[in-house]
Structure 1
Amino acid sequence: MGGNATAIAQVNSVSQLRDIAPGDWAFSALRNLVERYDCLDGYPNRTYQGNRALTRYEFAAGLNACMEQMERLITTGGSDSNLDPNELASIQKLLQEFEKELVTLGTRVNNLEDNLSQVEARQFSTTTKLEGNVIFAAIGASGNNVDQQVTFGHRTRLNFDASFTGEDNLRVRLQADGLNAPDIGTPQGALAYADTATNNFAVDALVYAFPLGDKTEVAIAANAGASDDFASTINALDGDGNEGALTAFGTRHPIYYQIEDKGIGINHKFSDRVALGLGYMAAEANNPESGNGLFNGSFGSMAQLTLTPTDNLELGFTYLRSYRQSDTGTGSNLSNFGAFTADPNNFVSTTGSVPISSDSYGIQASWQLHDNFILGGWGA
């Protein structure tokens, strides 16, 4: 949830800029200026980046940087501020040769500064990013003993992402639900984005994530935390209802629904290929009544080892210990033990509320065979 800026390396010699021919007179002239005034910033791979058609503009940008450095030295009267006649003639020739590019560069910079000023004047906040999405859906079902009326509604979200250090992230999400999920007798077809149609905005997610060193990230959830705050769910179709799978079952392995709401998660990357996620969450952590709280009510504790052997293959090995007073609301009726134990003779239409303590083991895999084809699955 945080980002690390890539440092731009300083180029000490123009001979390292492979896109400019060393035999060109302009190359030699600029090289002399760079090595004397140390004025040209390049790129870590030691080459100008961009299309070949932009090479002259990139060269002009380097020349402009040297001119600015020389102006600063002349203004301050530094030891390198004196120009010999040959050097002055070379500079004048460079300015004439690249006059058009320098003028264009100045115009582009001015336009960029104007556009930046407009963006800064119109932006929501200098430290907070506002992003929203709305799902409109028409829902209908058919069959015996199911809700068959066609309905239309929405789910609206406003995400506020704020950063205090540039590497951390505070996510506050407001959500309004305007979709009633139809009763179809099984949670297998439960939609990922349908809940109860209250149409009232409320704080749905409140999660703060921050780095702990270079390889560890911590996520603290005060509301609507989930396993994907500290571990990968190994599913390209996991879009949380915004994209990907339409159903909760297709969104992610049902094992992940046993840990949610309030708690803490830690993700540690041993390398780019190996990561360990650890988390503990309790749905009623803010409830002081007996049988609730952070440790006395429903909870889920999870550990997951995530392996990425290749760029297109991801594997997850998950262990989850949980105690729940309600079912996960996804998968088949048989997999929702609360409903089955509450009324074995009529568990299809029974809402489970029998406490269940479980130890769950899961294996997930995602293999990208082609840019547009991914093979994935899970087991428990």
Structure 2
Amino acid sequence: MLTNNSLLCLRKLFLSFSIAFNFISLFPSVAFASYPSVSELKDVASTDWAYEALQVLIERYGVMTGYPDGTFKGDKPNGMASLRPLTRYEFATALNEVLQQLEELIAEEKISVESEDLSTLQRLRRDFANELVTLESRVDKLEKRTALIEANQFSTTTKLTTLVVSGATGGGFDGDNIVGVTGDEITTDDPNATLFYRTTLAFNTSFNGTDALVTWLEIGSNGIDDNTGGFLEPTFGSVLDYSAKPPVEELGVSRLYYTFSPSERLNLTFGSTLALTDYIDTNSYITPSFLNFSTLALAQNYILFPIQGLGAGAAVEWNPVERIKVKAAYVAASADEPSSDNSSFTPGIFPIGYILYPDGESKGGLFGDPYQGAVEIEFTPVNPVIIRFQYTGGEILGKRFDVVGANFEWAISERVAVFGRYGYGSYNNTVFGDINPNYWMVGISFPDLFVSGVISGVAVAQPFIADEIGDATQTNIEAFYNFPINDNIRITPLVQIITNAANQNSNGAIFSGTLRTVFSF
């Protein structure tokens, strides 16, 4: 009779055999590397003693392996059963399964095993000893690989992606000096060349596959001042966009929100840290700035977002019909501060706010100043053309602003596209009086120029057209060529030109060049 201890010993021998075969069946290209292929081993035909012996065990003890009828199937010509040969690995797996089921039946005291069957099992083990040794070796290696994968798995629900933007920039200007919006002197010398960086760690967590909890940690170099354009003209958007946005020289949370879809055409977002520019006024050939145009005045409609920073709020995206999208968003830049004043820097307000309202005061709070709400309607009259209309309004430093804007893009062909923006604003009770600034930009993009995967373009903008400020109108021009080294690295040389910086005719042209490198993984 076959005892429980005997069966346990046999089962241990065959268990690794079965595990290895199952893995090999799923991943043959991995498992059989550097080993003989199955075709090189002798199959177990239905006429072999081992095959017949296993069939006897299956039938005698009522255990089942292979298919529900206890066979391994095959072609049935003329209605007659003709079982196909088994590979030695398939046979070993079947043998282990029979042994496992026998053990379970004995443990439940449902059967007793004859001694002759024990001899049969021992002979089967001896005849398949070589395969067992080989497979045990493979199982050890596969277990180590599996353990390594499990140990390095970040999370089953969270995906971590990383973005590193870095580069070198330098440049200078014509003339004797550079002055700001109010005529104050910024510098008389060309700035030194600088290195800048921005690193983003993005954690995207999904609980049901249709939602996302988004958390970004970011750190950047010296903000506006780490690049030539931002140093020489900090007021009207000549700064590199990705230099102005992240926390300055310290690691901080730059996005924290939860987004979900209660229905197929509706998406809702709310959180303590989000940005309006993630939802409003995007453009396929302009954003994101780390892949396209770097100049802030080109990356977005400059007068549409006087609150440039981050804040608490919510966003809604609704797609009522196929060619129309409606978006709405609200952000309060000082939602975590119950009160505030102008004695210290108010987060979220860009320098133009302090130029217009030097004596203004903020209130703070979720519904207090500074805050901004925005609505956008996106219309696609024909597939290559997209038009967006926006309205934004809010308060900064105790004063009201309202702005309307438009944004379009047109893919003329696979290799050429044109795009542009326009904005008209109303800023009341500024230090210059009630003003109505205008903004415009136009550009052309050349996807896959010379090399597949390239992103390139040229654009020009006048970010703040207002007769009340200065005696000229600033113009920003940028050209870039974004070249992919591989799927994870892109290098972009770009050139920026600024004329009449800060709306001052006395300022000579500013020239700067940047070599931007983006790593994403």
* Pair in the same fold by TM > 0.5: yes
Cα separation, 1, equivalents of 2:410 and 2:145: 42
Letter in structure 2 aligned against 1:138: A
8 A Cα contact 1:321 1:360, kept in partner: yes
Q: Could you tell me which of 269, 276, 294 is aligned with 1:226?
A: 276
User: CA 1:88 to 1:198, structure 2 compared with 1: closer, same or farther past 3 Å?
Assistant: farther
> Which residues of structure 1 form unaligned runs of 5+?
1-69, 96-109, 326-354
Tell me what 1:247 maps to. Answer: 295
User: CA 1:215 to 1:149, structure 2 compared with 1: closer, same or farther past 3 Å?
Assistant: same
Tell me what 1:208 maps to. Answer: 258
**Residues 9-37 of structure 1: CA distance to partner in whole angstroms, max 9, x if unpaired?**
xxxxxxxxxxxxxxxxxxxxxxxxxxxxx
Does residue 140 in structure 1 map to residue 207 in structure 2? no
TM-score by length of 1: 0.60
364-373 vs 138-147, which moves further? 138-147
Q: Could you tell me which of 65, 78, 91 is aligned with 1:86?
A: 78
Q: Which secondary structure state, in structure 2, belongs to the residue aligned with residue 238 of structure 1?
A: coil
Letter in structure 1 aligned against 2:379: L
Q: CA deviation at 1:242?
A: 2.2
Alignment of 1:41-60 (within 5 A): none
Tell me what 2:394 maps to. Answer: 322
Letter in structure 2 aligned against 1:160: F
User: CA 1:225 to 1:181, structure 2 compared with 1: closer, same or farther past 3 Å?
Assistant: closer
120-129 vs 156-165, which moves further? 120-129
Does residue 194 in structure 1 map to residue 243 in structure 2? yes
TM-score by length of 2: 0.45
8 A Cα contact 1:235 1:252, kept in partner: no
Letter in structure 2 aligned against 1:263: G
Cα separation, 1, equivalents of 2:145 and 2:319: 39
Letter in structure 2 aligned against 1:167: T
Q: Could you tell me which of 304, 323, 326 is aligned with 2:376?
A: 304
Does residue 265 in structure 1 map to residue 315 in structure 2? yes
Tell me what 1:237 maps to. Answer: 286
Q: CA deviation at 1:72?
A: 4.9
Q: CA deviation at 1:255?
A: 4.9
Q: Could you tell me which of 192, 196, 199 is aligned with 1:149?
A: 192
Q: CA deviation at 1:201?
A: 1.2
8 A Cα contact 2:385 2:409, kept in partner: yes
Alignment of 1:1-380 (within 5 A): 72-74=67-69, 86=78, 119-143=149-173, 144-145=177-178, 146=186, 148-182=191-225, 183-185=231-233, 186-195=235-244, 198-229=248-279, 231=280, 233-239=282-288, 241-258=289-306, 260-289=310-339, 291-325=363-397, 355-380=398-423
Q: CA deviation at 1:258?
A: 4.1
Cα separation, 1, equivalents of 2:322 and 2:83: 47
Q: CA deviation at 1:361?
A: 1.1
Tell me what 1:18 maps to. Answer: none
Q: How many residues of Structure 1 are paired with residues of Structure 2 in the alignment?
A: 262
Q: CA deviation at 1:356?
A: 3.7
Q: CA deviation at 1:174?
A: 0.8
Letter in structure 1 aligned against 2:240: L
Cα separation, 1, equivalents of 2:276 and 2:330: 10
Cα separation, 1, equivalents of 2:415 and 2:255: 32
Cα separation, 2, equivalents of 1:285 and 1:136: 31
Q: Which secondary structure state, in structure 2, belongs to the residue aligned with residue 294 of structure 1?
A: coil
8 A Cα contact 1:235 1:251, kept in partner: no
User: CA 1:87 to 1:310, structure 2 compared with 1: closer, same or farther past 3 Å?
Assistant: farther
Cα separation, 1, equivalents of 2:389 and 2:408: 9
Cα separation, 2, equivalents of 1:207 and 1:357: 27
User: CA 1:181 to 1:83, structure 2 compared with 1: closer, same or farther past 3 Å?
Assistant: closer
Cα separation, 1, equivalents of 2:305 and 2:236: 13
User: CA 1:371 to 1:288, structure 2 compared with 1: closer, same or farther past 3 Å?
Assistant: same
Cα separation, 1, equivalents of 2:83 and 2:241: 65
Q: CA deviation at 1:212?
A: 1.5
Tell me what 1:15 maps to. Answer: none
Cα separation, 1, equivalents of 2:376 and 2:416: 25
**Residues 111-142 of structure 1: CA distance to partner in whole angstroms, max 9, x if unpaired?**
x9998886555332111111112122222232
Cα separation, 1, equivalents of 2:417 and 2:145: 40
Letter in structure 2 aligned against 1:86: N
Cα separation, 2, equivalents of 1:197 and 1:294: 21
**Residues 241-263 of structure 1: CA distance to partner in whole angstroms, max 9, x if unpaired?**
42111111111222552465210
Cα separation, 1, equivalents of 2:419 and 2:283: 8
Q: CA deviation at 1:305?
A: 0.8
**Residues 275-311 of structure 1: CA distance to partner in whole angstroms, max 9, x if unpaired?**
1111111111111116211112111111111112333
> Which residues of structure 2 form unaligned runs of 5+?
1-64, 87-138, 179-185, 226-230, 341-362, 424-521
Letter in structure 2 aligned against 1:226: L
8 A Cα contact 1:206 1:221, kept in partner: yes
User: CA 1:85 to 1:321, structure 2 compared with 1: closer, same or farther past 3 Å?
Assistant: same
User: CA 1:170 to 1:83, structure 2 compared with 1: closer, same or farther past 3 Å?
Assistant: same
Q: Which secondary structure state, in structure 1, belongs to the residue aligned with residue 263 of structure 2?
A: coil
User: CA 1:121 to 1:305, structure 2 compared with 1: closer, same or farther past 3 Å?
Assistant: same
Q: CA deviation at 1:84?
A: 6.6
Q: Which secondary structure state, in structure 2, belongs to the residue aligned with residue 187 of structure 1?
A: coil
User: CA 1:315 to 1:113, structure 2 compared with 1: closer, same or farther past 3 Å?
Assistant: farther
Instruction: Give identity over the alignment, percent.
Output: 24
8 A Cα contact 1:234 1:315, kept in partner: no
Cα separation, 1, equivalents of 2:314 and 2:383: 29
CA RMSD, Structure 1 to Structure 2 (Å): 3.5
Which structure has more relative contact order (CA 8 Å, sep 6+)? It is 2
